[in-house]
Amino acid sequence: MRAVAPSYYPLFKCIAGDCKHTCCANWEVDIDPATYDKYMNMTGAFAERIRSSIVVEDDGSATGEAHFVLRPDGRCPMLRDDGLCDLILACGEESLCRVCDEHPRFYNFRSDVLECGLGLSCEAALSLILNWDKGFELIDITDSSPMGAELLSAPEEEPDELEAEIYETRDNAIRIASDRSVPLSSRVKRLAGELWTHDMRLAVFRSLESLSDEWVSYLNNIRTGISDSEAFELLDSDLSLKFENLLVYFLFRYPWEGARLACELLMMVACCLADNRECDLAGIVREFSANVEYSDCNVDDVMGKIQ
Ligand code: SF4
Per-residue pLDDT at 148: 59
pLDDT in tens, 172-212: 999 999 999 999 999 999 999 999 999 999 999 999 999 89
Minimum CA distance residue for ligand 1 atom 6:
23
Over the chain, what is the mean pLDDT? 93
| C-beta separation of 33 from 63 below 8 A | yes
Burial of 20 (0-12, 13-18, 19+ CB in 10 A): exposed
Q: Which atom of ligand 1 approaches the CA of 124 most closely?
A: 3
Judge if the beta carbon of residue 122 lies within 6 A of ligand 1: yes
pLDDT band at 149 (very low <50, low <70, confident <90, very high): low
Distance 24 CA to ligand 1 centre (A): 8
**pLDDT tens column, 246-286:** 999 999 999 999 999 999 999 999 999 999 999 999 999 99
For ligand 1, whether the C-beta of 105 sits within 6 Å is no
The verdict on the CB of residue 123 being under 6 Å from ligand 1 is: yes
Which pLDDT value is given to residue 153? Answer: 77
Cβ of 124 closer than 6 Å to ligand 1, yes or no, is yes
Confidence of residue 287 (pLDDT cuts 50, 70, 90): very high
